[in-house]
Structures are given as structure tokens and as C-alpha cells.
């Protein structure tokens, strides 16, 4: 997955391209590049590494030109080096690409037999070479359509042409692409976020669309080459200017923002006077729902798993959860009376989007829980439930996870109540309990110092385990995911009761084992599982809410978290796990906001 930008203007574009690329770095940051049309030739500059490095190159050797494209890369084909960085150019055409060309090897073989040569190991260069060939006897738009006809896979493209210094061509299939409008300047970008500092007037390309972007106008064509009009959306007010404030990095800022983001979300959904949850426009009447299927990836999938426990508690519905990349290829038993819920912070995750698309094609009822309301997933689903967390910049998802859980918790209560599965008195009580949630999170954040000690103690370990039962099991998985992605320390999240069926063999002297044991119906059982771990030398960090009571002398660390209604423990118990992964990564001097090999928005399969 990568980020692309294109600008057609009446002034030099390279500074704006660099600024937009910095915003797009959440999509990939292993290399960066740009190309402009300068004095009748293509001026391409690129490098492995961050946009900052590209900026330094431009500072030494500026790129002039009123028309240009830019790219940040997350490698799929070929290691991150200069040759594989985008743009990929020949003398007459230059291309930036987000997505994957699935038949690139076949096309490359054919082109090589024809005597064409390649400079990189990327799939994208095939597009450049094909376009160069087609441009010998076709105008740019026709050459683009001819080339697209040969490609299999997904793409968002930005293309400039040496002999046509007035326009950029954009094309979309599978990967998102937005157009922005301003005076004497128009833009192409992977998302509206990258364009927000330049404009709030946005259109979105649909699958198969192509656009020609000049400084004064934007023309759109559908896959049949018919000219089409696009709706222009005005984006909600300036969420674009995010900064770290006094925090060291975005992740810790976002962790500490959680009491506020949860409060905002509660305000959006709860009618305080009537003590009622407002959900509008659900695509299916709750009483008619046969089954709810929750789908997401990574952290978003973990919020689906927690929700399964809530929905099973508050409703008598059948609940299914699935990882989007599995769901999209399974032989699903689709049913028109099911509700399919897609959970995604970015709203652009390719696997989640493809799973949603599959459901749309089957005419199923869909709903999305997203942070970015202008995203592809939000726009494609029948009903959108925003989480109102504000921009999340740290690659590791924190405040969005709590936001997803909160919206899905409210959803579970509401569905339970409307269906008559959840007693109205209990429903009102649970709504009323929620007003304390932001404060409970605030109190939990005060444990940071203790967690710093623990992080110091465990940061050199070679592995770790996270155990929980019931809804604490997905929270254990989330804790393990955070630790591995941020600190590169091996971590496994496991149902505590499963340890004896194999993973107990991993326990050896000093292995850190985080045990998540709120005082719920699983409490005693989890403690027994914990003792089995201690007996084999495991170094236990117990997270519980036992009001300071020491559970066992053999526990290395015990942290007591605030007590709440038991259904709210997933929110509270997530906080120390976020802080733990953060501080371990800090001790290990890892790049907290941009962990290696990852990207914020995963727009490829």
C-alpha cells in the first residue's frame, strides 16, 4: 500500500507535493519520490527512506514545474531502494501507483520478448512501459484506457506526460482515489486527508473511473470512456492540522486522548435527557435480524471479537466474526436477513473493503464502523456508525480501538433493547454507567509509572504471552499485537484455558506472562491457569480489579485497575496493555509512530 498525489497548477508544485506526501506517510514510508514536467522534460527524484530525505534532496536540487506527481511507498514487489521507488518513468511518461498488478510477471515476460527493458523489480513499471508503447500511436487518454484494459489487480494511478505539460491523468480500480478542487489548482490524492490542507472540495473516483486534471478543470470518464459528472463534497471542518503538542510522539498523545475521544463519542450517540441510544438508518429492522457477522483486520478484528461477547450477552442472536482476508474467500452462507458489520479505523483497508464489496454484490445489508467518515468503506456501506476519535496518526491503533469498542457496545445494547432481549431497566442502567467511562479511563492512565517499571524489567525478554478468558481473551490478543508491532518482541495472545493444550510448553524461567483477570465469572479459573504458569517459572504481570488485595505472593507484578460494570472491563484493561507496549518500545528505542514494515492504512491485499 502506498500513497499518491498529483497536482496541476499555475505555480510550482513541488512544495505542495512534499507536504501532501508527509500526510500520506501513514500509508507507507519505505521510500518517496516525485516527478514534475520541467522545461519540456520529466524531472524525477526519488530515494529510499522518508519524505524528509526527499525534501533534503529537493532543497539541494529543486524540482520546478507546475504539474507533478508524488508517491510514498510500502514495498510489495522489490526491496525498498531507489530503483524500486516511484515514480517509474521513461523519457515520455511517469507513473505513481498504489495497489498491486497481479499479472505483472506475465506482462513483463511478453514485453521483454519484444525487447523492452526494465529498471526496477516493481509491478508498476509494467504500466510505464505499456503506456510508453501505446503513446507511440495514441493520445494520452486513449493510451491510458488501452493500458488499463491489459491490467489485472488493483490500482490508483497518477500519470504525467512529457509532451502534455497541462494535465495529470488519474485512474482507479480497487484502490481509493480522490480529486480536490481549488482556484487555479486541482489535485489528485489517495485520500481526502492528504488534500485537506489545500482544499475542502472533494470528489471520489469510483472503480473503473479515469480523470484528466488540469489547473482549471477536471474531466471524468467511466470505464466505457463516457464522460461523467461527479458529485463534489465539502469536507467537515479542519481536522487536518494534527500535531503532537507536548507529547513525544503521536501514539502516547492518542493513548492519553482516550478519555476525551470516548466522551465525544458518547455525546454523539447518547441522548442524555431520555437516557437513550440514538442509532439511525440501520439497514434492517433489529427484530428481523437472523445473524450478525462482524468483519475486520488486526486491531479492528479484535474489537469484533469483544463485541461477540457483548452481543451474546445482550441479545439472543447468532453472532459470527471473521478476519476480512479470510471472509472474502470463504464459501459463505450468505443470508439477506443477516447484518454484516465492517469495522475499520481508516475505512480504506483493502481486505475489509473487498469483503464489504462482496456483500454489496450479494445485495446484503451492510453497516460500517469507521473513524474516517469520508472513506471508501463508509461510502460503500448502507449505514455508517462513526467512532468520532479524530485523526489517528500513530500506526499502532489505540484510541480508534476504544472508539470501535464503544460504538459496538452501544450498538449491542441498542439491538438487545429493541429486540426485547435486554430488559429495559438493565438497558437504562448500563447507559447510565457509561457516563463514568471517560473518568475510569483517566484513572487507569495514572498507572503509567508502574508500567514503565515493568517495561524496563521485560524489554530484553525474547518472548511473552498474554492470557485472558471471556472478553479478556481478545483483549489479550490485542495486547500481544500491540507489543509485537511496536517493540518487535514476540508475543502471543491466548485463551488462558487453552494453555494446557500446548502453549504451556513455552513457559520457562523468567518468560513474561501478562494475565488479564477482572473479577468476572472467569476470575477463579483464570487464576488457576495463572498458577500453572507460575509453577513453571513464568514471570506474571497480573491485571485485575481486586481493590488492592494481593492475589498471590508469587506474582512478579500486580496492577489493580478501577472497578466498573463488568461489561466495561475490555475498555479499562486495554489501557495498561497500550502503555506497556509503548514503554517497552521506548526502552528498545523503536520508531514508535512508524514501526518497521508496517503502514497505517493497508490498501493492498
For ligand F6R, the binding residues (CB under 6 A) are 297-300, 344-346, 349, 352, 396-397, 481, 485, 601-602
Torsion from C-alpha of 317, 320, 321, 327, nearest 10 degrees: -140
> Rg of the Cα trace of the chain?
25
d(CA 68, CA 59): 17
Axis-axis angle for helices 399-419, 424-434 (nearest 10)? 160
Question: Rounded to a whole number, what is the largest CA-CA distance in the chain?
Answer: 81
Least distance from ligand F6R to the Cβ atom of residue 303, Å: 9
Q: How many CB atoms lie within 10 A of CB 290?
A: 12
By CB neighbour count within 10 A (0-12 exposed, 13-18 middle, 19+ buried), where does 424 fall?
Answer: exposed
How many Cα neighbours within 13 Å face the side chain of 336?
2
Least distance from ligand F6R to the Cβ atom of residue 591, Å: 14
Closest of 3, 174, 190 to residue 605, by C-alpha = 174
d(CA 50, CA 73): 9
By CB neighbour count within 10 A (0-12 exposed, 13-18 middle, 19+ buried), where does 153 fall?
Answer: middle
Least distance from ligand F6R to the Cβ atom of residue 301, Å: 7
Q: Are 105 and 67 in contact (CB under 8 A)?
A: no
Least distance from ligand F6R to the Cβ atom of residue 1, Å: 10
Single out the catalytic residue among 2, 211, 297, 304: 2
Q: Is 426 a catalytic residue?
A: no
d(CA 163, CA 91): 10
Single out the catalytic residue among 45, 253, 414, 600: 600
Q: Are 229 and 560 in contact (CB under 8 A)?
A: no
In DSSP terms, which residues pair with 321 in a beta bridge? 294
Q: Is the dihedral of CA 135, 141, 144, 149 positive or negative?
A: negative
User: Which is closer to ligand F6R, CB of 126 or CB of 387?
Assistant: 387
Residue-level length of the chain: 605
User: Which is closer to ligand F6R, CB of 300 or CB of 402?
Assistant: 300
Q: Which helix (H) or strand (E) holds 519?
A: none
User: Which is closer to ligand F6R, CB of 375 or CB of 567?
Assistant: 375
Closest of 445, 425, 470, 435 to residue 580, by C-alpha = 445
Q: Are 543 and 579 in contact (CB under 8 A)?
A: no
Q: How many CB atoms lie within 10 A of CB 89?
A: 23
Least distance from ligand F6R to the Cβ atom of residue 346, Å: 3
Q: 127: which 3 cell numbers?
A: 504500466
Least distance from ligand F6R to the Cβ atom of residue 469, Å: 23
Q: Are 317 and 292 in contact (CB under 8 A)?
A: yes
Q: Is 600 a catalytic residue?
A: yes
In DSSP terms, which residues pair with 88 in a beta bridge? 95
In DSSP terms, which residues pair with 293 in a beta bridge? 320, 340
Closest of 230, 69, 46 to residue 122, by C-alpha = 46
Least distance from ligand F6R to the Cβ atom of residue 404, Å: 8
User: Which is closer to ligand F6R, CB of 124 or CB of 578?
Assistant: 578
User: Which is closer to ligand F6R, CB of 44 or CB of 348?
Assistant: 348
Spatial CB neighbours of 429, under 8 Å, sequence gap ≥ 6: none
User: Which is closer to ligand F6R, CB of 319 or CB of 598?
Assistant: 598
d(CA 430, CA 233): 38
Least distance from ligand F6R to the Cβ atom of residue 571, Å: 16
User: Which is closer to ligand F6R, CB of 147 or CB of 307?
Assistant: 307
The beta-carbon contacts of 546-553 under 8 Å, at least 24 apart in sequence, are 546/519, 551/527, 552/527
Least distance from ligand F6R to the Cβ atom of residue 28, Å: 13
Least distance from ligand F6R to the Cβ atom of residue 30, Å: 17
By CB neighbour count within 10 A (0-12 exposed, 13-18 middle, 19+ buried), where does 525 fall?
Answer: middle
Q: 550: which 3 cell numbers?
A: 494481593
Pairing of strands 291-296, 338-344: parallel
Least distance from ligand F6R to the Cβ atom of residue 349, Å: 3
Minimal CB distance to ligand F6R: which residue? 298
- List, by residue number, the catalytic residues: 2, 600
Amino acid at each position: 500500500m502506498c500513497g499518491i498525489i498529483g497536482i496541476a497548477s499555475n505555480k510550482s508544485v513541488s512544495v505542495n507535493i512534499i507536504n501532501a506526501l508527509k500526510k500520506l506517510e501513514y500509508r507507507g514510508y519505505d521510500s518517496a519520490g516525485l516527478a514534475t514536467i520541467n522545461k519540456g522534460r520529466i524531472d524525477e527524484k526519488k530515494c529510499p527512506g522518508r519524505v524528509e530525505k526527499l525534501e533534503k534532496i529537493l532543497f539541494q536540487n529543486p524540482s520546478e514545474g507546475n504539474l507533478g506527481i508524488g508517491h510514498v511507498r510500502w514495498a510489495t514487489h522489490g526491496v525498498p531502494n531507489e530503483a524500486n521507488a516511484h515514480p517509474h518513468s521513461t523519457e515520455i511518461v511517469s507513473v505513481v501507483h498504489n495497489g498491486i498488478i497481479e499479472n505483472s510477471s506475465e506482462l513483463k515476460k511478453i514485453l521483454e520478448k519484444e525487447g523492452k527493458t526494465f529498471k526496477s523489480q516493481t509491478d508498476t513499471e509494467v504500466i510505464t512501459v505499456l503506456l510508453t508503447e501505446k503513446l507511440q500511436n495514441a493520445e494520452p487518454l486513449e493510451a491510458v484506457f488501452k493500458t488499463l484494459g491489459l491490467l489485472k489487480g488493483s490500482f490508483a494511478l497518477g500519470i504525467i506526460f512529457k509532451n502534455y505539460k497541462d494535465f495529470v491523468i488519474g485512474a482507479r480500480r480497487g484502490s481509493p482515489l480522490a480529486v480536490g478542487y481549488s482556484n487555479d489548482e486541482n489535485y489528485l490524492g489517495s485520500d481526502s486527508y492528504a488534500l485537506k490542507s489545500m482544499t475542502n472540495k472533494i470528489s471520489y473516483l469510483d472503480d473503473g473511473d479515469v480523470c484528466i486534471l488540469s489547473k482549471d478543470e477536471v474531466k471524468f470518464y467511466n470505464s466505457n470512456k463516457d464522460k461523467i459528472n461527479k458529485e463534489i463534497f465539502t469536507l467537515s471542518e479542519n481536522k487536518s492540522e494534527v500535531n503532537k503538542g507536548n507529547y513525544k510522539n503521536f501514539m502516547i498523545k492518542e493513548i492519553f486522548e482516550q478519555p476525551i475521544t470516548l466522551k465525544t463519542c458518547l455525546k454523539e450517540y447518547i441522548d442524555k435527557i431520555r437516557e437513550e441510544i440514538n442509532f439511525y438508518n440501520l439497514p434492517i429492522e433489529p427484530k428481523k435480524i437472523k445473524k450478525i457477522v462482524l468483519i475486520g483486520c488486526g486491531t479492528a478484528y479484535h474489537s469484533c471479537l469483544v463485541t461477540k461477547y457483548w452481543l451474546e450477552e445482550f441479545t439472543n442472536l447468532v453472532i459470527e466474526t471473521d478476519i476480512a482476508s479470510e471472509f472474502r474467500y470463504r464459501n459463505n452462507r450468505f443470508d439477506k436477513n443477516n447484518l454484516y458489520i465492517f469495522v475499520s479505523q481508516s475505512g480504506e483497508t483493502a481486505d475489509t473493503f473487498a469483503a464489504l464489496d462482496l456483500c454489496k454484490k450479494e445485495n446484503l445489508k451492510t453497516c460500517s464502523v469507521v473513524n474516517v467518515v469520508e472513506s471508501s468503506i463508509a461510502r460503500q456501506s448502507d449505514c455508517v456508525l462513526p467512532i468520532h476519535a479524530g485523526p489517528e496518526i500513530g500506526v499502532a491503533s489505540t484510541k480508534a480501538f476504544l472508539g470501535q469498542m464503544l460504538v459496538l457496545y452501544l450498538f449491542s445494547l441498542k439491538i438487545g433493547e429493541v429486540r426485547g432481549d435486554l430488559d429495559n431497566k438493565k438497558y437504562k442502567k448500563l447507559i447510565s454507567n457509561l457516563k463514568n467511562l471517560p473518568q475510569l479511563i483517566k484513572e487507569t492512565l495514572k498507572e503509567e509509572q508502574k508500567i514503565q517499571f515493568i517495561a524496563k524489567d521485560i524489554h530484553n525478554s525474547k518472548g511473552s504471552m498474554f492470557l485472558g478468558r471471556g472478553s479478556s481473551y481478545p483483549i489479550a490478543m490485542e495486547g500481544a499485537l500491540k507489543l509485537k508491532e511496536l517493540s518487535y518482541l514476540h508475543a502471543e495472545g491466548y485463551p488462558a484455558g487453552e494453555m494446557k493444550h500446548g502453549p504451556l510448553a513455552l513457559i520457562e524461567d523468567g518468560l513474561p506472562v501478562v494475565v488479564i483477570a477482572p473479577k468476572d465469572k472467569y476470575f477463579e479459573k483464570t487464576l488457576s491457569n495463572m498458577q500453572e504458569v507460575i509453577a513453571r517459572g513464568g514471570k506474571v504481570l497480573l491485571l485485575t480489579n481486586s481493590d488492592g488485595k494481593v492475589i498471590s505472593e508469587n506474582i512478579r507484578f500486580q496492577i489493580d485497575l478501577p472497578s466498573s460494570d463488568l461489561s466495561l472491563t475490555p475498555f479499562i484493561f486495554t489501557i495498561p496493555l497500550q502503555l506497556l507496549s509503548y514503554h517497552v518500545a521506548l526502552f528498545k528505542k523503536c520508531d514508535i509512530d512508524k514501526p518497521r514494515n508496517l503502514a497505517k492504512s493497508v490498501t493492498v491485499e
